[in-house]
Amino acid sequence: MLLQAPASALRHGEIVAFPTETVYGLGANALIETAVQQIFALKGRPQDNPLIVHLADKEKLDQLVKNIPPEFYRLYEDFCPGPLTFVLEKTDLIPDQVSAGLNTVAVRFPDQKICQLLLRLADVPVVAPSANISGRPSATRASHVLDDFKDRIPFIIDDGATELGVESTVIDLTGSMPRILRPGVITADEIRAVSGIEVLSYKDGLEEGDLKRPASPGLKYRHYAPDARVIQVCSKDGKSLEAAVLSELDQLSDQKAGLFINEKSWDKLRLQTVIAEREIIKYLFAAENPDEAAAHELYAALRALDAAGVDVILAEAIPGAEAYMNRLDKACASENMEKEEVKKILFVCTGNTCRSPMAAALFNSYAEEKQQASKIKWKALSAGLHTMDGLAASQSAVSVLCESGIDISGHSSVQLTEELLAEADIVATMTRSQRDILRGFLPALESKIKTLSEWADERGRESAGDVPDPYAQPEAVYRETRNHLQALIESLWQQINSQPGD
Ligand code: TXA
Ligand code: MG
């Protein structure tokens, strides 16, 4: 039986990507903390965003959750297995990492043949976030998983395109009234109609500004976003969808545009000379049942249009298609937000295989945790003074960072260039001699080149010390280097984020 190997791997703590009826999931044994940690590291997922536990059925649910309300059993009867996720009170068996410290846990019973078989064979609760790098469009095909994770996970089970294309509805059953935290294919209206249960819809929650109960932490992050800008188009004020597309295209005349619209509208549009004369990349969905068809194709379209190198995507808005519109709104979110400022810090060492990649990864992980609220975002890069492109990080560097839940196994060394130095807002070297070489090379940039210890030092003292090279030393030395770097980065963070006068 083909699923035996991935099921056993999953059970023993390895990562397995698998299809569900909604999107592909990146699965790990929920009871093995290192496996759960690896999920966060692989996705680059903020630690405060909890995971959904997947089970084949409710047989062993009692071990994982307590005080199950009667509504659960009604909904389970009516909708499970299916695209509905329940937030319930957790037992101590669920590691804190899974629930991100909340006293609740999300549980779902997917309705997909392969997934059901896998869960039964593995016979453990399986956490599975959508199988995409955090912030990117979710994966609805195995090839999407491969695009995001390449050879970084041992198993990807391919069962074609997923049936629904948008993630499950998340419903919170821990408050005085059930409340939808994330819209999905199963809507509040359907729950009322089928199960006779009164439920606050996603929008109700928003309108009331109900902050007393915890919403889905995942909702605060920008999501589902391709690299291209996404603009919504729809027919309104008596203007057709085709007219709306044409007028947008007119304003974007110098940009390579992608279209995600229904087939019928495209049939009308393609006859227009403007369209025929311009290079437009199209990704169409069926005009019948557009709600379902658009949801089914949205993520694949965003990914395909990105891969085709478009600058902008015009995507058809379908008022009333709640789950689809929720995801589309998020894909456009950056367009509605003020552009965030992203600053770059460049860590430099000699070979770019030990200290500087460790520093950059530790910095990015720390920044991820700390900077949700701040307007300025920081991003770290690393490079080596004397190296070649494409070397992996040293094995001990990978191991000691893995202990901190950070994965640098995909690191590939980069030779320092003048461009990298010029683009960085600040440059942090490991030693004073590296600093002096760089300053000698580019005196004009002197003020932004300091050792990491100097950046970390409150008074910016010149002689604040070096970070010694652990190269070829025992793993314990690398562990010391990691701890040293972590401490410096935390002080550095204070320095670069404190306002003058603070
Ligand atoms: O359809 C799906 O649900 C897919 C497939 C793979 O099953 N999974 C998925 O997982 O979408 P993920 O991790 O991408 O999204 C989980 C959502 C997040 O918005 C998270 O904040 C929310 O569920 N969530 C998880 N645990 C929660 C909890 N205890 N309370 C509130 N929200 C929770
Ligand atoms: Mg997700």
The matching CATH number, chosen from 1.10.150.240, 3.20.20.60, 3.40.50.2300, 2.60.40.420, for 341-496 is 3.40.50.2300
Q: How far is the CA of 420 from the centre of ligand 1 (A)?
A: 37
Q: How far is the CA of 255 from the centre of ligand 2 (A)?
A: 30
- Cβ count near 31 (within 10 Å): 20
For residue 129, the ligand closest to its alpha carbon is: 1
Helices (H) and strands (E) in the chain — how many of each? 19, 18
Instruction: Give the residue whose CA is nearest to atom 20 of ligand 1.
Output: 218
- Nearest atom within ligand 1 for CA of residue 105: 29
Burial state string for 94-130 with b = 16 or more CB within 10 A and e = fewer than 16: bbebbbbebebbbbbbbbbebbbbbbebbebbbbbbb
pLDDT at site 211: 36
Which of 130, 172, 327 to mutate to test ligand 1, by most ligand atoms within 8 A of the CB atom? 130
| Domain positions in the chain | 4-212, 229-331, 341-496
Of 77, 170, 58, which Cα lies nearest the Cα of 125? 58
Residue 252 to residues 29, 267, 311, 312: CA-CA distances in angstroms? 47, 21, 10, 8
Cα gap 186→300, rounded to integer Å: 21
The helix or strand, by DSSP H or E, that contains position 259, with its residue range, turns out to be: strand 257-262
Residue 158 to residues 15, 16, 145, 297: CA-CA distances in angstroms? 15, 11, 10, 17
Contact 225, 330 (CB under 8 A): yes
For residue 215, the ligand closest to its alpha carbon is: 1
Of 126, 129, 131, which Cα lies nearest the Cα of 142? 131
Contacts of 208 (CB under 8 A, 6+ apart): 200
Instruction: Give the residue whose CA is nearest to atom 21 of ligand 1.
Output: 218
Of 33, 78, 89, 278, which Cα lies nearest the Cα of 169? 78
Cα gap 240→245, rounded to integer Å: 9
Which of 20, 54, 80, 216 to mutate to test ligand 1, by most ligand atoms within 8 A of the CB atom? 216
Contact 285, 293 (CB under 8 A): yes
- Nearest atom within ligand 1 for CA of residue 131: 6
Which pTM does this prediction carry?
0.69
Q: How far is the CA of 108 from the centre of ligand 1 (A)?
A: 9
Q: How far is the CA of 162 from the centre of ligand 1 (A)?
A: 17
- Nearest atom within ligand 1 for CA of residue 132: 14
Tell me which residue has tokens 């937000």.
337
pLDDT at site 273: 87
Q: How far is the CA of 271 from the centre of ligand 2 (A)?
A: 38
pLDDT at site 333: 74
- pLDDT digit string (tens) for the chain, length 502 residues: 689 999 999 999 999 999 999 999 999 999 999 999 999 999 988 888 899 999 999 999 999 999 999 999 999 999 999 999 999 999 999 999 999 989 999 999 999 999 999 999 999 999 999 999 988 999 999 999 999 998 899 999 999 999 999 999 999 999 989 999 999 999 999 999 999 999 998 776 544 333 334 456 555 555 788 889 999 999 888 899 999 999 999 999 889 999 999 999 999 999 888 888 888 999 999 999 999 999 999 999 999 999 999 999 999 999 999 999 999 998 987 544 444 568 899 999 999 999 999 999 999 999 988 876 555 789 999 999 999 989 999 999 999 999 999 999 999 999 999 889 988 999 999 999 999 999 998 888 888 999 999 999 877 676 678 999 999 999 999 999 999 999 999 999 988 876 443 3
- Nearest atom within ligand 1 for CA of residue 104: 29
Q: How far is the CA of 184 from the centre of ligand 2 (A)?
A: 12
Of 375, 385, 373, which Cα lies nearest the Cα of 343? 375
Cα gap 402→361, rounded to integer Å: 11
For residue 28, the ligand closest to its alpha carbon is: 1
Q: How far is the CA of 182 from the centre of ligand 1 (A)?
A: 8
Cα gap 68→61, rounded to integer Å: 10
DSSP bridge partners of 261: 284
- Nearest atom within ligand 1 for CA of residue 167: 1
Find the radius of gyration of the CA atoms of the chain: 25
Answer positive or negative: Cα dihedral of 352, 356, 362, 364: negative
- Exposure of 231 in the CB half-sphere (CA atoms within 13 A): 18
Q: How far is the CA of 106 from the centre of ligand 1 (A)?
A: 7
DSSP bridge partners of 13: none
User: What's the CATH fold of domain 4-212?
Assistant: DHBP synthase (3.90.870)
The CATH number of the structural domain formed by 229-331 is 3.40.50.11030
Tell me which residue has tokens 């670069």.
496
Quick check: helix, strand or coil at residue 368? helix
pLDDT at site 216: 61
Which residue type, as a one-letter code, is found at position 95?
A: P
Which residue type, as a one-letter code, is found at position 175?
A: G
Contact 305, 226 (CB under 8 A): yes
Q: How far is the CA of 157 from the centre of ligand 1 (A)?
A: 21
Residues within 5 Å of ion ligand 2, judged at the Cβ atom: 130
- Nearest atom within ligand 1 for CA of residue 26: 6
- Nearest atom within ligand 1 for CA of residue 25: 6
For residue 218, the ligand closest to its alpha carbon is: 1
- Nearest atom within ligand 1 for CA of residue 215: 31
For residue 132, the ligand closest to its alpha carbon is: 2
Q: How far is the CA of 138 from the centre of ligand 2 (A)?
A: 6
- Is there a common fold for 229-331 and 341-496? yes
The helix or strand, by DSSP H or E, that contains position 247, with its residue range, turns out to be: helix 241-251
Strands 179-182 and 104-108: unpaired
- Nearest atom within ligand 1 for CA of residue 90: 29
pLDDT at site 288: 95
Q: How far is the CA of 351 from the centre of ligand 1 (A)?
A: 40
- CB under 6 Å to ligand 1: residues? 20, 22-23, 25, 49-52, 85, 87, 99, 102, 104-106, 110, 128-130, 167-168, 170, 181-182, 214, 216-219
Dihedral Cα 23, 107, 329, 331, nearest 10 deg: -50
pLDDT at site 277: 87
The full 3-state SS of 307-338, as one line of letters, equals HCCCCEEEEECCCCCHHHHHHHHHHHHHHHCC
